[in-house]
Chain A
Amino acid sequence: MSDTTDTGGPVLAADGTPLKRSLARALRRQKMRALLLIAPLLLFILISFILPVADMLYRSVKNGIVTDTLPRTVVALADWDADSGDLPSEAVYAAMAADLKEAAAAKTHTKVGTRLNYENPGISSLFRKTGRKAKKFDLEGVSSWKEELIDINKGWGDVGNWRTIQTYSPPVTSGYFLNAVDMRVGPDGAEMRPEAERIYMNLLGRTLWMSLAITVCCILLAYPVAWILANLPMRQANILMILVLLPFWTSLLVRTSAWKILLQQQGVINDILVWVGLVDDSARLVIINNQFGTIVAMTHILLPFMILPMYSVMQTIPPSYLRAAKSLGATDWTAFWRVYFPLTIPGIGAGSILVFILAIGYYITPALVGGTKGTFISNQIAFHISSSLNWGLASALGAILLAVVLGLYWAYDKIVGIDNVKLG
């Protein structure tokens, strides 16, 4: 015991400063240096990962375009009751005319049309056609803009169009998310879309189902391989390990194309089946461009992610456990099932999480071998990003996917415990 600790007050360093402050000062330099070392990586992650993700998440609810382009109309429409069935007042039409004239000059009227068209197909032509004439609007010279606008395009006399404008005028909208779960804002608030228009929930369900199927296939195929790897002598295990890792060193595109060659109707597998006589030449199996093809190709591609965690767990299980179980009277099967298998669960869990999460967001393979029935939700996201340019909907779908993955992760942590996961 030193003298300083006996006083009961804060512990002091030799020079009289509190020990805590003294320690913090001594550690500050170290901390600064450590921070400096990871700064480039931190910056890189911030710029290339965290900010884009945040931006995409914001895009899924962002809706500034209506207020920005039609500011007067939005204010004037605020008091209008869409459920009354009456058209908005003269003031609203005048505001719209003023907004359109400005928007047409700035050439932003088509963008509002496009945005609103996502919610109300057909409305974009209303904006486009009216916009052509809007540049020449004489705002003071017209007595009734209501009649004038309806005269230019009948669409201005449709309560439904005005409802769409009013509904989507706030700067933040739930519209993309509703759309992403096959809902829409109807006269009575949110409602399911008609059966025929529902796409995304089915697609999400299919994505989850197929990812699960792929995960299960991977578990079944990887378990024996990992077991052999863990129990072979070092030299042979290394050779086998190279075979496991070989796919890692080959381009994903090449491997997927190889499956195309194998699985197509005039492909290797069908040829062999026909040659052996198992399948008639006129009834070649359709095993690509559907769910089966996607599951086969993705199981193959994701298999190493299942084998490696399993292997690393199995390696740590001493052979004496199995011997002990047998010496205690257990048959080979009981020894495996009661002793070995429970000890490999952390490996199965780690591999399953990895494979499932990778599978759920997979894009290239389903796009190439999935046809129309074997595609994933990520393919739809890609479509909205690059073809339909509906980034808001793509962001909403992506956000839902992210939420599903985080939810599954959370559930796994509750049930198995993330501490039990060993990745290597």
Chain B
Amino acid sequence: MAEAVTDDGFVVFDRVQKSYDGETLVVKDLNLSIAKGEFLTMLGPSGSGKTTCLMMLAGFETATHGDIRLGGQPINNIPPHKRGIGMVFQNYALFPHMTIAENLAFPLEVRKMGKSEREEKIKRALDMVEMGSFGGRRPSQLSGGQQQRVALARALVFEPELVLMDEPLGALDKQLREKMQFEITDLAHNLGITTVYVTHDQTEALTMSDNVAVFDDGRIQQLAPPDLLYEKPENSFVAQFIGENNTLEGVVTEISGDTCVVRLDDGEELDATPINVSKVGERTKVSIRPERVEYNKERLQEGAHTLRAEVLEFIYMGDIFRTRLRVAGNDEFIIKTRNAPDVERLTPGQQIEIGWLPQDCRALDA
């Protein structure tokens, strides 16, 4: 669940709800506080309400209930053009009938800025995204990556304190996307602007953000920095959605402080950290990251439970080995091992024993 809303956030969503049809809520009780200079990513599957939240912040949708505050001021009734928020759209939305320089001049012209000041700012903004020599071109003459840079420059040229980005890298190929991810974060941190970034790509969210808000079903499922989100998911949705994850189902048989024992459906027992299970007898989904599974007995903790596993498939991926196992009736149990000289390469059919540290194994809601 979302953290308690503090009033000192630069952007604050206070008990915001949104419904389009008056029957179902697309956004349910959203509470979110974003600090000045923070890079926050809204991550979630499509239809989870993340884009609606962004549109409410930009002013293109109105909240059905609740307050949105920007710099302490409620902005529910301020039209979009008076909010002074820069925005980068999924399809870039560069005006096709204007040159690059005219596109960048647009926000400055509507602010009635003088010509010399305007030109100076346009030049600075274009240089910032390394597009200085493209001012006279039309958007259609640029590649996707170049259009992306120009869209970024246009959103920043009038020096907004908050920039919204709606899946800006969705249309780019993988290599370019990775390069742009780096450039965008760099730019945002250097300029010290607050950024709200919407994406459905979890890698993008993890690599770029200070904080990630995972959306599902109109709610924030977890708001945390990337490392916590990945290593300490608070519920099964987040565990499943972020990164690769192995799930084993069972019943809690013992709870003592920060450890518990889970009896899996085939009778095997394992140690886990209870996260949102509270009592013995409750059903649970146990989550283990593939790279935290160990089959070298020497590296296992003393007294930890181990499970028997059968190797089904071994895939050589260069930097890592990816092995599919049958564990406690689950045929899709994946482990990842770094390709190091001392690591044993498994063969299909081989019987092994696997285990893990109890703190890496989290008993979540079923």
Contacts and interface: CB of A to CB of B under 8 A. Distances in A.
A327 B91 contact: no
Interface string A295-326: 00000000000000000000000101101111
A39 to B, nearest CB: 40
Q: Interface range on chain B: under 10, 10 to 19, 20 to 34, or 35 or more?
A: 20 to 34
A323 B90 contact: no
B86 interface: yes
Contacts of A329: 81-82, 84, 107, 110-111, 158
B95 A327 contact: no
Nearest to A340: B95
Interface string B34-67: 0000000000000000000000001110000000
Interface string A329-340: 111101100110
Contacts of B107: 328-330
B75 to A, nearest CB: 13
A85 B357 CA distance: 128
A338 B58 contact: no
Given A329-B111, A330-B110, A320 B90 contact: yes
Nearest to A338: B106
A324 B81 contact: no
Interface string B58-90: 111000000000000000000111111111011
Contacts of B136: none
A321 B95 contact: yes
A149 B8 CA distance: 116
B110 A328 contact: yes
20 contacts: A320-B90, A320-B93, A323-B58, A326-B60, A326-B81, A327-B58, A327-B80, A327-B81, A327-B83, A327-B155, A328-B86, A328-B107, A328-B110, A329-B84, A329-B107, A329-B110, A329-B158, A331-B81, A335-B81, A343-B96
B100 to A, nearest CB: 14
A324 B110 contact: no
Chain A binding site: helix, strand, loop or mixed by DSSP? Answer: helix
B158 A328 contact: yes
Contact of A327 (B85, B90, B97, B111): B85
A189 interface: no
B18 interface: no
B283 interface: no
Given A320-B90, A323-B93, A325-B95, 4 more contacts: A321-B93, A327-B155, A327-B164, A328-B110
Contacts of A324: 87, 89, 93, 95
A323 B110 contact: no
A136 B155 CA distance: 99
A330 B93 contact: no
B154 interface: yes
Given A329-B84, A329-B158, A343-B97, A323 B60 contact: yes
B81 A330 contact: yes
